[in-house]
Chains A and B, each alone.
Chain A
Amino acid sequence: METNVTLEENKDIQNENLEQEKQEVPAIELRGITKRFGEVLANNNVDLTLYNGEILAMLGENGSGKTTLMNMISGIYYPDEGNIYINGKEVQIRSPQDAFENHIGMIHQHFKLVDVFTAADNIILGDKMVKVDNRKVLNSYFSDYRGAISSAKEVRDAALAQGDAKRRSRIYAKYLVQRQRAYAKVALKTAIMPLLRFWERNKFNYLARGRAEAIEHYIKKFGFDIDLSKKIYDMSVSEKQTVEIIKVLYRGANILILDEPTAVLTPQEIKKLFAVLKKMRDDGKAIIIITHKLNEVMEISDRVSVLRKGEYIGTVKTSETNEKALTEMMVGKKVDLNIERKDPVNPKPRLIINNLTILNKEGRKAIDDASFTINGGEILGIAGIAGNGQKELLEGIAGLQKVESGEIIFHNPKENRPVTFFHNDISQIRTKAAMGLFHYPDGTPVVLKGKSNGEIKKLVNNEQILYYEDEIIDLRDKKPREIQELGIKLSFVPEDRLNMGLVGNMSIVDNMLLRSYRKGKTIFVNRKKPKNLADNIIDNLEVVTPSDQTPVRRLSGGNVQKVLVGREISSSPKVLMAAYPVRGLDINSSYLIYNLLNEQKAKNVAVVYVGEDLDVLLELCDRILVLCGGKITGIVDGKTAKKDEIGLLMTKHVGKENDSTQENKEVEEVKEDGIKED
């Protein structure tokens, strides 16, 4: 802490007053925290200071140890070395319960909510009831008893003071009855006390009025928007996050830690979240926010702490830094934040989509009458607010979603290439030859009539039969695996990275194997190639992992993503569809991915890139297709298009104006803000 403060004092003389005010007692202070996972050093000697009434942004690349550090504050992990001080006092945080007792609440990246419970149940979960102090209860019972006895005794004494014997005996009898009643009362209460206490702990209506009021209090105070009786599995990501935040507030948290809260939110939701966070900061709460998005850091935080490869690099004031300086702190070297875009070479239609309509689970049109062409050798960007049909479109092409109507025509680039037996058998080759699709290397057409199977095999194996033209295939008849084998790869990066594409418990090598094991000719799997591939990906994409045998789920989120994207790109695709491939990735890794996509483009692959960041879309893509409400609202040229033009297209609803005008306004506001900043 000492060094930290002197560093800051040197930096800002203007804000000295403010600094002194803040120097009082930090809400939380970490000194020399070190944590190892086996051979991996996740955090090395990290110091951190957080004051009440400020928002501190934690910045660092994937695997730099931000989440690990936060997990140590919230009691999930226990540090190997170092001390934690809360309000100046040293504390041991060994479990989440300890964290709650120290008023620390963490909102995890992967929400810790029980799906089948309502919001209210999740919020009160684990909250200890008011502890019943046995001695106090007993005392209260006995004070009842004592009170009754003493008041009875007063009656008796008053009576005894009187001379009248008859009156005296009557009052004495009254006293006896009163004493009897007091005894009975205590006996009854003592007998049913265990039951009462059980009742107290297990109130059969656990959402009693007091609790509901306590929750409502926070909802009103910070302006949340939530239905407490809704089940978690019915909720959107943003609602779940709201429940998490209310939960930690309800448990009395003064220090809130948010792990990548914006990674899965739409721009409007991010705006709402930031408004809430600012209100909480003004209320005196100390907030740590982990994020990769530098514009968000600049917008929301008061100070920024940077970690790099588990080491603490430093803390700066947000008002005195800029995005470039932060990036350099984070990466440790100067970074060139430009994407090189070359003109597409000889773009030919690869996928032609005609009048495609796809229904979603509820039976509404997720993709409505979409027609467009994807060319080989260019990057087609897909822009749109999340949930406007991007997922369904890509899954429809990949054969994972049922297509309601329309065509998906794939031009398999085969011109002048030899026929193989890889997908076809001899009868198929015969029929295709009869259709006049093949020619010999010298240009004469192929006639297979009268030739035996053996002869045809020989010709094919000697690469004597070539295609005249590209093979044209309607993908609607194909199964997902056939589509994949045709070279149409979907590297979909969903909200939960491990659900689609990778098997968490398997090693990186085995996950590579998933794509290649069918190609083997013997019954034994070939592990050599996947191992080489895995090692290549680890080297080239700078995956932080102890070894290539580490289960994928042990890697940090960004590294998992690198493995997934790396594997899909390595399979030499003809069409590569990447949805949100840089979501949750740090800047360095993001640019690695952009370069990979550009390399594929240079290899004449048709690349489809679904992205959130309009700046990146404009820099990377040759053409940008804009989706809104499942309809294509425009296809623009990436070189000439303007950000506001795309923004307008993103909110240009065709037909259903009513239910989304509100959203549109908000989106436009967000967008305008973005433009002003530029």
Chain B
Amino acid sequence: MFLTFIHSAIRFSTTFLFGSTGETITERAGHLNLGIPGIMCLGAVGGCIGESLYLKGITDYAQINGFAAVIIGILFAMIFAGAGGLIYAFLTITLRSNQNVSGLAMTTFGVGLTNFLIPQVNKTGFYYISVCFTNYAPGADKAGWFSELFLTYGCLVYVAIVLAILVAGLIKRSKTGLSLRAVGENPAAADAAGINVIRYKYVACVLGAAIAGLGGLFFIFDYLGGNWEYTIESLGWLSIALVIFSVWRPNIGIAGSIFFGALFILPAYVTVGFAYNELIKMIPYLVTIIVLIATSLLNKKETQPPASLGIPYFREER
């Protein structure tokens, strides 16, 4: 019972681990992308479109190549979400419009476009595609608790965790990460040091959005098993909360996402009544507020958000 609980918490957490890793990259470049919920929707719909195109060329579901199906899903999700990120980047970097407003507009736009596109997509056969996403090594679920806890996930779960660790390492230790942090902290200083600020911001926004889009893909094809049951918008907001919870470090975000995931699915495992269910679902946001209070009280510069988060940069401005 407990094992299954942890197992499904980890599985559920992958959605917003992707979201928060992507958002962290974007925020480290000084851009608060509140469009993440919409962009995750775009990623999901992109995955759906890609897979339906793939299925069109296939007559028998037995012919489905698992590897190809996953790669096509990832590619389409990243392209669609990245395109959403590009729109956001163009608005906030080149046109220097307000980031909060642009982000919220992206959410509305992404959710709306998804609601429009999803009914048009032919979803027959998505079950067989989702099997490719959830597949794990045969026999892993029968080889003891360790293997059941760690080896019985679909590939995207591992991708999410590896990506989070990789991004955390890059941000903390690499030259690129140093430049990225400088762009988010003080773009004028980065510019004076010869860093191409605009390019960094664009890459961070588009790449961040593309990674966040994988969260949508995972949710549809792995967690929901190919059925479009309900919108993933609320998970997008949770991703943004997770960025704050993880104090802009994706490696802390892994633990944070599992914690959030556990709280989110807790009502299904304990019988507390409907009213309390909603109360439990609220806890992640409450915890985020507590983390915000704690980091503010600590008053350490390292745990503060990037200093120029939300502020547009223009070199010839004084």
Contacts and interface: CB of A to CB of B under 8 A. Distances in A.
Contacts of A74: 192
A480 to B, nearest CB: 23
Interface residues of A, number: 37
A420 interface: no
B316 to A, nearest CB: 6
Nearest to A247: B193
Interface in B239-288: none
A106 B189 CA distance: 12
Interface string B181-217: 1100110111111111000000000000000000000
A202 B170 contact: yes
Contacts of B304: 116
B301 A76 contact: no
B194 A206 contact: no
A96 interface: yes
Nearest to A206: B175
Contacts of A113: 186, 189
Contact of A203 (B175, B185, B316): B175
A126 B186 CA distance: 13
B124 interface: no
A99 to B, nearest CB: 8
B204 to A, nearest CB: 16
B182 A115 contact: no
Contact of B185 (A97, A116, A124, A251): A116
B173 interface: yes
A114 B182 contact: yes
A189 B195 CA distance: 31
A554 B179 contact: no
A121 interface: yes
Contact of A204 (B173, B195, B307): B173
B174 interface: yes
- Tell me if B's interface is mostly helix, strand, loop or mixed: helix
B315 A205 contact: no
Given A77-B316, A115-B186, A100 B194 contact: yes
B100 to A, nearest CB: 17
A126 B190 CA distance: 7
B178 interface: yes
A114 B174 contact: no
A100 B304 CA distance: 31
Contacts of B169: 204
A129 interface: yes
A233 B301 contact: yes
Nearest to A67: B318
Given A114-B185, A116-B302, A95 B176 contact: no
A125 B175 CA distance: 8
Interface residues of B, number: 29
Contact of A202 (B176, B190, B193): B176
B189 A202 contact: no
A112 B186 contact: yes
B44 to A, nearest CB: 31
Contacts of A204: 169, 173-174
Contacts of A117: 178, 181-182, 185
Interface in B146-193: 169-170, 173-179, 181-182, 185-186, 188-193
A111 B194 CA distance: 15
A125 B193 contact: yes
A117 to B, nearest CB: 7
A307 B191 CA distance: 27
Contacts of A100: 194
B25 to A, nearest CB: 15
Nearest to B192: A112
Given A204-B169, A204-B173, A206-B175, A115 B193 contact: no
Interface string B279-318: 0000000000000000000000110100100000001101
A376 B318 CA distance: 40
Contacts of B185: 114-117
Contacts of B192: 74, 76, 96, 106, 108, 112
A231 interface: yes
Nearest to A121: B178
B13 to A, nearest CB: 27
A69 to B, nearest CB: 14
A629 to B, nearest CB: 28
Nearest to B307: A115
A202 B194 contact: no
A113 B182 CA distance: 9
B315 A206 contact: no
A203 to B, nearest CB: 7
B316 A112 contact: no
Contacts of A114: 181-182, 185-186, 189-190
B301 A126 contact: no
A125 B191 CA distance: 10
A205 B316 CA distance: 34
A553 interface: yes
Greatest chain B CB density within 10 A among A97, A124, A201, A553 is at A97
A577 B113 CA distance: 61
Contacts of A205: 173
Nearest to B302: A116
Nearest to B304: A116
Interface in A73-123: 74, 76-77, 95-97, 99-100, 106, 108, 111-117, 121-122
Given A115-B301, A204-B173, A95 B194 contact: yes
B191 A96 contact: yes
Nearest to B176: A202
A76 B194 CA distance: 10
A203 B177 CA distance: 11
A116 B176 CA distance: 16
Given A97-B196, A116-B301, A116-B302, A202 B316 contact: no
Nearest to B301: A116
A126 B182 contact: yes
Interface of B: 169-170, 173-179, 181-182, 185-186, 188-196, 301-302, 304, 307, 315-316, 318
24 contacts: A76-B316, A97-B196, A112-B186, A112-B188, A112-B191, A112-B193, A115-B186, A115-B301, A115-B307, A116-B304, A116-B307, A117-B182, A117-B185, A125-B195, A126-B190, A126-B195, A128-B194, A129-B175, A203-B174, A204-B173, A205-B173, A206-B173, A206-B174, A231-B301
Interface of A: 74, 76-77, 95-97, 99-100, 106, 108, 111-117, 121-122, 124-129, 201-206, 231, 233, 247, 251, 553-554
Ordered nearest first, which 9 A-B pairs have the shortest CB separation?
A: A126-B193, A202-B174, A97-B194, A112-B189, A112-B192, A126-B194, A126-B195, A125-B193, A114-B185
Given A115-B185, A116-B304, 15 more contacts: A76-B316, A95-B191, A97-B194, A112-B186, A112-B189, A114-B186, A116-B301, A125-B190, A126-B182, A126-B190, A126-B194, A126-B195, A127-B194, A233-B301, A251-B194
